Chain A
Amino acid sequence: MAKKQLFSLSVNGEEVDVASPSDATLLETLREDLRVLSPKRGCNQGVCGACTVLVDGVPVRSCLTLTALCEGHDIGTVDGMGEDPILATLQKHMVEKGGVQCGFCTGGMLMSARNLLAETPRPSRDTVKSALSGNICRCTGYRTIVDAVCGAAEELAQ
């Protein structure tokens, strides 16, 4: 059994002390020790994007981020962003356009999409595709996901 260490983290605006293996990834700590389940373990290699979370507002791969390096930083996941207007609009359009099939990639997709719309209010369709290129959907429902992000961008720009 791996030796555990106590980490003080800020997750979705809440200060938490959590015991986690001293060399744990942020993904392991979130899922196994804090039961924050929206970041998914897909490849554990940084390729699939399903584990994407925000650290100080910047999207990163939680499977490639060590928990030890996250003390003193704000960690954000879909679970704690119910009040975020960009995220809420994205979620609405994901539902309306059928952008969610099995849902495994959705949390990570939303993190990347939210970052895009926060930086680029009126992205072209190609810009949306490029921004989501690091998030893999194995249901291959890309068209409806891109539709949803474009729809949300349009609504937010009004």
Chain B
Amino acid sequence: MTQILQPETLDEALAVLAAEDEAMPMSGGATLVAMKNARLVEPTHLVSLDRIAGLRGIATLPDGRIRIGAMTRHFETASSALLTGSLSVLRQAAGKIANRVVRNMGTMGGSVANADPAADYLPALACCDAVLTIARAGGERELSILDYVEDWYETALEEGEVITAFTLPAPEESPSAYRKIARVTGDFATASCAMALTADGQGIRVAIGACGPGPLRDPEAEQALIGKLDDPDAVTALAERLVAMADPIDDVRGTADYRLALIPRLVRQGLDDLKKDLR
């Protein structure tokens, strides 16, 4: 039997997680309670983060950057007026998660902690150059989203650690978009693409989801494309770099080969759409 704890401070929560080997932090419960119902996890304690003040909500920091609390629900992210321009990709990704009822429950911290390769936030956060704040008893650290996923469902999160926030650069006015290929509305992605034009309109940041353990992004190839967005061969070269990084699997949503074929198409179509937005 699992003991349900509802601490009111982060320190209290982190102390329990440090002391109890089989305790797990719980955010919205949309995945963790489902896993518990299926007996895939049987923690001694579930430490709900719901009552801890300051973990929920989206705010602009004094320097213009955006901070999203880990307990922010998907529906809040999907309707945030602060996620504009280059950060609108994250708002769009949140709005494509599952369905409205699940968006009322699920949180960004929970989704990223679970690190389902086909979930929507990972590529969107990678496209935004998000930084995670990770707390443990007695301290906290910051980590780039690009260094976060280590293998299939394996992340840099260690026992006793909790994601508390995501920090994004100040939004730029350049357009961004999230494209998701899925069997039906609300399913996990077969493949997805998060893309933003740089502020000067000369380059892009692009991340691919559901085609490997973590989001695929190649900053070097993005550098090489600066100023060449109208050159189809140069765009294809970037897409091929992403295909080379990919390590997709065959599953019920599509074959690995199908996913590899989707990547260049997602990149081309995504770029065409952003260029249209610019005009």
Contact = CB atoms under 8 A, between A and B. Distances in A.
Interface of A: 2-3, 21-23, 25, 44-46, 49, 52, 58-61, 63-66, 68-69, 111-112, 115-116, 129-131, 133-135
Interface in B47-68: 48, 50
Contacts of B101: 49, 52, 59-61, 111-112, 134
Given A45-B34, A61-B30, A133 B46 contact: no
A23 B46 contact: yes
Contacts of A133: 99, 184-186
B10 interface: no
Contacts of A130: 99, 185
A21 B1 contact: yes
Contacts of A25: 33, 37
B38 interface: yes
B48 A66 contact: yes
Contacts of A49: 99, 101
Interface residues of B, number: 25
Contacts of B50: 69
B203 interface: no
Nearest to B51: A69
Nearest to A46: B34
A59 B100 contact: yes
A126 to B, nearest CB: 10
B28 to A, nearest CB: 8
A19 to B, nearest CB: 14
Nearest to B185: A133
Interface string B13-45: 000000000000000011001101110000000
A22 B34 CA distance: 17
A60 B50 CA distance: 15
Report, nearest first, the 5 A-B pairs whose CB atoms are least far apart. A134-B99, A68-B4, A23-B2, A64-B33, A45-B34
Contacts of A2: 1
A65 B29 contact: yes
6 contacts: A23-B46, A58-B104, A64-B105, A66-B33, A131-B99, A133-B99
B46 A44 contact: no
B33 A69 contact: no
Q: Most chain-B CB neighbours within 10 Å: which of A3, A23, A52?
A: A23
B29 A22 contact: no
Q: Most chain-A CB neighbours within 10 Å: which of B4, B6, B33, B48?
A: B33
Given A133-B184, A134-B98, A64 B30 contact: yes
B105 A61 contact: yes
Given A22-B1, A64-B29, A65-B33, A46 B100 contact: no
